[in-house]
Amino acid sequence: MSNTTPRIRNILLVLIIGSLLILFAGTAAAEEIFYQENGQYFTYRVKQNQATLLSFCVPDSPDTPSTIYLPSELGGYPLKTIGPYALDDSEYKPYGGYSSEKVETIVVPEGVEVLEENALGFMLHVRNVILPSTIKTIFPSFHMCETQITVDEKNSRFQVIDGFLVDVENSVLLYTSPEAAMNELPAVRSIGSFALANYRRESLVFPDTTEYIGSYACFDTPEIRTIEIPGSVKEIADEAFYAMVVTDVILHEGIERIGAYAFCNLEIDNITVPESVVWLGYDFADGCEDTLVLNPNCYNETEEEYLMRYESENE
């Protein structure tokens, strides 16, 4: 009897835990809610009595307005967060997306505080997105976004400067709108992921205030031929300039770390790595025929080390 009781208890414990997991899974699934209002369709998630917009669309009709005002509440819950690709205006959205020929502006309501990573991803047709004064957090990465962004002038943290969306509090360039394609970069400390995706100048010269350049900073920039990076930059992230048609890269003394595949698959024949560089990521210049590293003690990351680092950073 003394041996049977613990076994029964263990079995009961497993059953209880399993039931709780099923219950939690059902609750999590139920949090993704479909909602319709005034002919517009929304999918959202609720957490701590606050709504996160997951998907939004307006079926095409003769009455489709040119300006869409997102509701400040969804199902009675205050809208606080715009989720990844929630405003995607591509033709592949569920329920038919929304007419890119008719919808010109989307207004994000007061009360919204967070734009998650790629919240405005795949916005290729809508001309303008207006952000409220209440926005507190914008995660970097505007993948395949070609809209103009306007921020309420009462928002002191985020500003649009000559067409560039900047987190002025942290000095981060977040996004380059099409209207800024030929402008000089603003004086910031950090360049976010995909931040320069709409940049169209032939020569890309980073200001000497720059200290960090994020991954895929220049994604889909076919006009850029020359890149010049000042010594103020301390770190260049993995894949920062991956797969570009760049023919010349100038790296100045002062740079310390260059990430894996940072200059991979470019059109360059040679690259000189300054003596100040102490760490090189795996295959940082894969595809370049002639690589000169001036620091004989510079550490070169192995493929195994890169894979381990990648897994830990993307858990």
pLDDT digits (tens, 9 = 90+) for 82-113: 999 998 877 655 544 666 678 889 999 999 99
**What single letter denotes the amino acid at residue 27?**
T
For the chain, the structural domain boundaries read 31-124, 156-315
Q: Does residue 140 sit in helix, strand or coil? A: coil
**107-122 residue pLDDT tens:** 999 999 999 999 999 8
Q: Distance between CA atoms of 220 and 199, rounded to whole angstroms? A: 9
With a cut of 50, say whether residue 27 has pLDDT above it: no
Pick from 86, 92, 98, 85: nearest CA to 44: 86
**What single letter denotes the amino acid at residue 297?**
N
Please tell me the pTM assigned to this model.
0.85
Architecture of 156-315 per CATH?
A: Alpha-Beta Horseshoe (3.80)
Q: Distance between CA atoms of 115 and 106, rounded to whole angstroms? A: 14
Q: Any residues with CB less than 8 A from the CB of 82 and at least 6 apart, and which?
A: 52, 53, 108, 112, 114, 115, 116, 119, 120
Residue 190 neighbours by CB distance under 10 Å: 21
**126-175 residue pLDDT tens:** 899 999 999 999 998 888 899 999 999 999 999 999 999 999 999 999 99
**What single letter denotes the amino acid at residue 310?**
Y
Go through 127-149 and write b for each residue having 16 or more CB atoms within 10 A of its CB, e for each that does not. Answer: eebbbbebbeebebbbbbbbbbb
**175-218 residue pLDDT tens:** 999 999 999 999 999 999 999 999 999 999 999 999 999 999 99
Contact 72, 50 (CB under 8 A): no
Query: Given this model, what pLDDT does residue 7 score?
Result: 42
Contact 95, 57 (CB under 8 A): yes
- 79 to each of 104, 123, 173, how far by Cα in Å? 22, 20, 26
Pairing mode, if any, of strands 77-82 and 73-74? antiparallel
